[in-house]
A and B are shown apart, each in its own frame.
Chain A
Amino acid sequence: MNKIIEMEFFSENVAKIVLEAPDIANSRKAGHFVIIRLDEKGERIPLTIADGDKDKGTITIVVQKVGASSAKLLACKVGDHILDVVGPLGHATKIENYGTVLCAGGGVGVAPLMPIVKSLKEAGNRIITVLAGRSKDLIIMEEDMRRYSDEIVIMTDDGSYGKQGLVTAGMEEIIRREKVDKAVIIGPAIMMKFGSLTTKKYNIPTEVSLNTIMVDGTGMCGACRVSIGGKTKFVCVDGPEFNAFDVDWDQMMMRMGAYKTEEHTAYEKYLNTVQENA
């Protein structure tokens, strides 16, 4: 049982949740994720750890409402308990002094990017961060990011905040302006695909963190398998970070849609129960 200590809504559909998880807080590093199960009937959902506090024994996750399970999670209140939280899972991010690192985060992908930016900064890198979202309310954690970035560029599709344009436009502007030694891109699969096509054009080594469907998160089931450089890898134990240029994005996106129908039905059902209880 893990108590919810704090909840902060960035927008109607995105919230930061601070959870009691002392063991995980103690051992987690940038790049790690957890699997949570809200209640007895809940599914196991992988979520990357956005932050942690060893002294307080807490970890932070950021959740976006995309279906029934995330909606139930966002309907929780401070003081509620999450039945299961297990981790930290996956390999931690390899942190080195690369020189100048371009960090691009899209939507809630900014949350897992946060500890990586922090660690890279602490390792002496110059950090240029691009935050992207459809509109202003989907740009999250700007203040936190600003603290660890030497420069920050904000891109919105509709131009409601920062510059108007896609994440790739913001990235390309920087790459053309100065020498970039490394890129880290985290966000929706489609954003990582096009972001890494951009860095590939300029031969900038690029890491991405994949967020595939998982069940156990410990290598046991293979639900998260993706094709990396033509070989099948498990995101949970081989990743979640991979060389972006090796990822078969189309296969990954196809696999992420495996339960589209079921997810839709579950969400409809959830909305109905919420309405009935209201």
Chain B
Amino acid sequence: MENIADYIREGRKDDWRLELRKSMKAKERTSLERVQMPEQDAVERSHNSIEVNLGIAEQMAVAESLRCLDCAQPTCTTGCPVGINIPKFIKKIEAGDFLGAAATIKETNALPAVCGRVCPQEKQCELSCFYTDKLNLPPIAIGHLERFAADYERNSGKMAIPNVAESNGKKVAVVGSGPSGLAAAGDLAKLGYDVTVFEALHEIGGVLKYGIPEFRLPNDIVDVEIENMRRMGVKFHTDFIVGKTASFELLREQGFRAFFVGSGAGLPRFMNIPGENFNGIFSSNEYLTRVNLMKAAHEDYDTPVLSGKNVAVIGGGNTAMDSVRTAKRLGADRAMIIYRRSLEEMPARKEEVHHAMAEGIEFMNLHNPVEYFADASGRVNKMRAQKMELGEPDASGRRRPIIIEGSEFDIDVDTVVVAVGVSPNPIVPSSLKDLKMSEWGTIIVNKENMQSSIPDIFAGGDIVRGGATVILAMGDGRQAAAGIHNYIQQKVKAS
């Protein structure tokens, strides 16, 4: 990844870029207002599963692209884990070459329509944008523009696939089809490898399918990006658990020369408080999987879900927001966030918190559940909560929540979703005796090339990080793909 800077610089001196830069004064550009993402009406959307953000129109995208100064030393790109050539794709939009913009993004990002929707741009590219950094103005809406380019291309019927090198016939296995696995598969396919992605579930996409709800990321959009990867030659094998359905050893015998493990953080955490196993209390993974993957809310699908009128969601991350907004859409009268710190410390994206508030979600910040009670059938009917206050900052830099003694009170609930984090899934690691693991159950890798203690096994995403974002997982996948490429080339040279 050392030549990212060269990759970004390259092309800045092309005539069309020079002309665009000359066409408008920097002062004029910086005086333009940032585009606002149109949204579905809050009341209406809290009763349907249609996407909340509606996307920006062509003229809005072009207007926004004018704000970008095409900096000589762009800083936005340093905030992108997959190294998108941000200035180039934005200037392509300014030039009206929307398909070209999409193609530029796809040079380094296998899932542009996904990232344009779910990346926390405010913490990445947009945080390091010149506008944020130096001008103290709202950053270029890089995320909205990325989504625009990807959506434009998809709707144009002219989906292009990136250049794929001639097949080298070498087989590589990708374990898990979430964001890190798909990113790794995309890059390896581009390099000419014969890539097979193995997925345990019956659908490709991992957390993009079972976790993130339709109203934030429609499944159809994920499917289009996966179809694109199929066209690049990537093979997908669902219902296949590497380490269970077939061992790593067996796959080696079948000719797989290296593995990328992106099996995710699929092991929900509970709080281990009394009554937590009553019916109607779910992990966020279960609740969201029933609704998103198994389509429990659809009359004609067989999987049920218990979702009642008084729903409490424990936690303050994006998954908590997804769960509580899902509960509202499934008909909850009261859908509450119970979070032990204050709004300021909340790890969820600001946009999600803002959307949730507009939809009528109640935020009970500085509260923590201590016990659950149930009716005679075992269905939860009450949550005992205690109030918290903030003390000194802890190791995470956030102010530590402290219990206010004697502050307990009961809240009526019939459904509880526990969204307090996940641990790494144990299936792959437990099938490999020699794999070095951390005490938290994550796979230990060399950060440079994502190689594990077993030379032909590379890993990335939540199985290494223990719980992060789609884009960081994708960055890992790309880095591992480069690591795998090096590893196989060296092996070939040595033999």
Please give the residue numbers on chain A whose beta carbons come within 8 Å of chain B beta carbons, in ascending order.
Answer: 23-24, 26-27, 37, 41-44, 68-69, 83-89, 215-216, 218-223, 225-227, 232, 234, 237, 251, 254-255, 257-259, 262-263, 266
Chain A residues positioned under 8 Å from B32 (CB to CB):
none
In whole angstroms, how far apart are the Cα atoms of A14 and B409 in the complex?
50
Instruction: Please state if B270 and A255 are interface contacts (CB–CB under 8 Å).
Output: no
Interface size class of B (residues with CB under 8 A): 35 or more
In whole angstroms, how far apart are the Cα atoms of A223 and B296 in the complex?
14
- Known interface pairs A216-B266, A232-B270; 18 further A-B residue pairs with C-beta atoms within 8 A, sorted by A's residue number: A26-B246, A44-B294, A69-B302, A86-B245, A88-B244, A88-B245, A215-B290, A216-B210, A219-B427, A220-B266, A220-B268, A222-B285, A234-B267, A237-B427, A258-B279, A262-B304, A262-B306, A266-B304
Instruction: Please state if B202 and A27 are interface contacts (CB–CB under 8 Å).
Output: no
In whole angstroms, how far apart are the Cα atoms of A265 and B289 in the complex?
22
- B347 at interface (Cβ–Cβ under 8 A)? no
In whole angstroms, how far apart are the Cα atoms of A44 and B245 in the complex?
17
Instruction: Give chain B interface residues in 299-343, CB to chain A under 8 Å.
Output: 300-304, 306
Partner of B289 from the list A86, A89, A216, A263 (CB cut-off 8 Å) is A216
Given A218-B427, A220-B268, A255-B378, verify A41-B301 contact (CB < 8 Å). Answer: yes
Given A84-B239, A218-B425, A259-B304, verify A27-B245 contact (CB < 8 Å). Answer: yes
Task: Name the prevailing secondary structure of the B interface residues.
Answer: loop
Question: How far does the Cβ of B304 sit from chain A's closest Cβ, in whole Å?
Answer: 4
A and B contact pairs by CB, cutoff 8 A, 11 listed: A27-B245, A41-B300, A87-B245, A215-B286, A218-B200, A218-B241, A220-B267, A222-B282, A255-B378, A258-B279, A259-B304
Question: How far does the Cβ of A48 sit from chain B's closest Cβ, in whole Å?
Answer: 15
In whole angstroms, how far apart are the Cα atoms of A109 and B303 in the complex?
24
Partner of A23 from the list B240, B272, B302 (CB cut-off 8 Å) is B240
Question: How far does the Cβ of A247 sit from chain B's closest Cβ, in whole Å?
Answer: 13
Instruction: Please state if A251 and B279 are interface contacts (CB–CB under 8 Å).
Output: no
- B247 at interface (Cβ–Cβ under 8 A)? yes
Chain A residues positioned under 8 Å from B302 (CB to CB):
41-43, 68-69, 266
Using CB atoms, name the residue of chain B closest to A26: B246
Question: How far does the Cβ of A87 sit from chain B's closest Cβ, in whole Å?
Answer: 7
Instruction: Give chain B interface residues in 336-387, CB to chain A under 8 Å.
Output: 377-379
Given A85-B239, A215-B294, A232-B277, verify A221-B283 contact (CB < 8 Å). Answer: yes
Instruction: Please state if B200 and A27 are interface contacts (CB–CB under 8 Å).
Output: no
Chain B residues positioned under 8 Å from A88 (CB to CB):
244-245
Question: How far does the Cβ of B385 sit from chain A's closest Cβ, in whole Å?
Answer: 21
Question: How far does the Cβ of B176 sit from chain A's closest Cβ, in whole Å?
Answer: 11
Chain A residues positioned under 8 Å from B285 (CB to CB):
220-222
Chain B residues positioned under 8 Å from A84 (CB to CB):
202, 238-239
Question: How far does the Cβ of A103 sit from chain B's closest Cβ, in whole Å?
Answer: 26
In whole angstroms, how far apart are the Cα atoms of A89 and B245 in the complex?
8
Chain A residues positioned under 8 Å from B290 (CB to CB):
215
- B187 at interface (Cβ–Cβ under 8 A)? no
Instruction: Please state if A237 and B289 are interface contacts (CB–CB under 8 Å).
Output: no
Given A41-B302, A232-B270, verify A27-B246 contact (CB < 8 Å). Answer: yes
Instruction: Please state if B277 and A86 are interface contacts (CB–CB under 8 Å).
Output: no
- B201 at interface (Cβ–Cβ under 8 A)? yes
Instruction: Please state if B378 and A232 are interface contacts (CB–CB under 8 Å).
Output: no
Chain A residues positioned under 8 Å from B138 (CB to CB):
none
Using CB atoms, name the residue of chain A closest to B303: A43
Instruction: Please state if B426 and A237 are interface contacts (CB–CB under 8 Å).
Output: yes
In whole angstroms, how far apart are the Cα atoms of A223 and B418 in the complex?
12
Instruction: Please state if A219 and B378 are interface contacts (CB–CB under 8 Å).
Output: no
Chain A residues positioned under 8 Å from B268 (CB to CB):
220-222
Question: How far does the Cβ of B443 sit from chain A's closest Cβ, in whole Å?
Answer: 16
Given A215-B290, A255-B279, A257-B377, verify A222-B427 contact (CB < 8 Å). Answer: no
Partner of B306 from the list A37, A226, A258 (CB cut-off 8 Å) is A258
Question: How far does the Cβ of B389 sit from chain A's closest Cβ, in whole Å?
Answer: 29
Instruction: Please state if A216 and B201 are interface contacts (CB–CB under 8 Å).
Output: yes
Instruction: Please state if B272 and A232 are interface contacts (CB–CB under 8 Å).
Output: yes
Partner of A220 from the list B279, B282, B377, B425 (CB cut-off 8 Å) is B425
Instruction: Please state if B266 and A218 are interface contacts (CB–CB under 8 Å).
Output: yes
In whole angstroms, how far apart are the Cα atoms of A97 and B347 in the complex?
53
In whole angstroms, how far apart are the Cα atoms of A88 and B239 in the complex?
10
Chain B 223-258 interface mask (CB, 8 Å, partner A; 1/0): 000000000000000111100111100100000000
In whole angstroms, how far apart are the Cα atoms of A250 and B157 in the complex?
57
Instruction: Please state if A220 and B245 are interface contacts (CB–CB under 8 Å).
Output: no
In whole angstroms, how far apart are the Cα atoms of A128 and B198 in the complex?
42
Given A84-B238, A255-B378, verify A27-B244 contact (CB < 8 Å). Answer: yes
In whole angstroms, how far apart are the Cα atoms of A215 and B425 in the complex?
15
In whole angstroms, how far apart are the Cα atoms of A41 and B278 in the complex?
27
Using CB atoms, name the residue of chain B closest to A219: B267
Instruction: Please state if B283 and A87 are interface contacts (CB–CB under 8 Å).
Output: no
In whole angstroms, how far apart are the Cα atoms of A262 and B201 in the complex?
24
- B276 at interface (Cβ–Cβ under 8 A)? yes
List the 9 closest pairs (A to B, CB-CB), nearest first: A221-B286, A220-B266, A254-B378, A262-B304, A86-B239, A258-B279, A222-B283, A43-B303, A43-B302
The interface centre, meaning the residue of A42, A44, A215 with most chain B CB atoms within 10 A of its CB, is A215
In whole angstroms, how far apart are the Cα atoms of A262 and B282 in the complex?
17
The interface centre, meaning the residue of A68, A85, A87 with most chain B CB atoms within 10 A of its CB, is A87
In whole angstroms, how far apart are the Cα atoms of A258 and B377 in the complex?
8
Using CB atoms, name the residue of chain A closest to B247: A27
Chain A residues positioned under 8 Å from B282 (CB to CB):
222-223
Partner of B200 from the list A68, A83, A86 (CB cut-off 8 Å) is A86
Using CB atoms, name the residue of chain B closest to A263: B304
Chain B residues positioned under 8 Å from A263 (CB to CB):
304
Chain B residues positioned under 8 Å from A227 (CB to CB):
277
Chain B residues positioned under 8 Å from A86 (CB to CB):
200-202, 239-241, 245
